[in-house]
């Protein structure tokens, strides 16, 4: 069945059964690596992506729910050459060990900071509660999210001309 999905600002028509979770369409049909299979049950968060700005578990989100909605994956936050604030923050804080859980963490944090870039430590912890990390990178992830918030705020502040041209 052909379904049209809007991912990272681009429209894609994919041939897939409608009950297919978004995760597999992102990975197999669109060739995006960011969302990871972790549990398939919505328990670990490694598949987290944004749908209309809200974090969702893409492993339990069938694509039949998603027509006409805007999907954002970690690929939508920037590139290796031009990383977005969230990505920059994770690189600067070296907030990864194996890194498998990290894109999911970043997406959930992105949703929080888009609502509230000045989110404090308690809010960040609460927001990241659904996402698991096994390497024990938690302290760095928290730092990176705080840093991302600062980067976003300074980018949004008047006089911060960087990137404003686009």
Q: Is 73 among the residues that bind another protein (CB under 8 A)?
A: yes
Dmax over CA atoms of the chain, in Å, equals 49
Does 102 sit near another protein (CB under 8 A)? Answer: yes
Among the listed residues 3, 5, 7, 20, the single contact to another protein using CB under 8 A: 20
Of residues 124, 117, 123, 121, the one with CA closest to residue 150? 117
7, 71, 96, 113: residue in contact with another protein (rule CB under 8 A): 96
Q: How many residues bind another protein (CB under 8 A)?
A: 78
Place of tokens 């974090």: 55
The answer to whether 120 contacts another protein (rule: CB under 8 A) is: no
**Nearest distance from residue 22's CB to another protein, in Å?**
9
Which among 52, 67, 59 has a CA at the least distance from the CA of 37? 59
29-68 positions binding another protein, by CB under 8 A: 31-34, 36-46, 48, 51-52, 54-57, 60-62, 64-65
DSSP states along 118-137: T--HHHHHHHHTT---SS--
């Amino acid at each position: 069945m052909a379904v049209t999905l809007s991912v990272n600002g681009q429209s894609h028509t994919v041939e897939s059964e409608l009950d297919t979770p978004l995760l597999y369409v992102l990975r197999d049909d669109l060739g995006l690596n960011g969302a990871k299979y972790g549990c398939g049950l919505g328990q670990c968060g490694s598949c987290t992506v944004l749908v209309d700005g809200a974090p969702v578990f893409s492993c339990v989100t069938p694509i039949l729910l998603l027509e006409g909605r805007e999907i954002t994956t970690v690929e939508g936050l920037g590139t290796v050459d031009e990383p977005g604030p969230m990505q920059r923050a994770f690189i600067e804080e070296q907030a990864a060990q194996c890194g498998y859980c990290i894109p999911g963490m970043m997406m959930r944090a992105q949703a929080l900071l888009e609502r509230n870039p000045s989110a404090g430590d308690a809010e960040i912890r609460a927001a990241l509660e659904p996402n698991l990390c096994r390497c024990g990178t938690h302290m760095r992830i928290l730092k990176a999210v705080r840093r991302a918030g600062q980067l976003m705020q300074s980018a949004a502040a008047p006089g911060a001309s960087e990137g404003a041209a686009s």
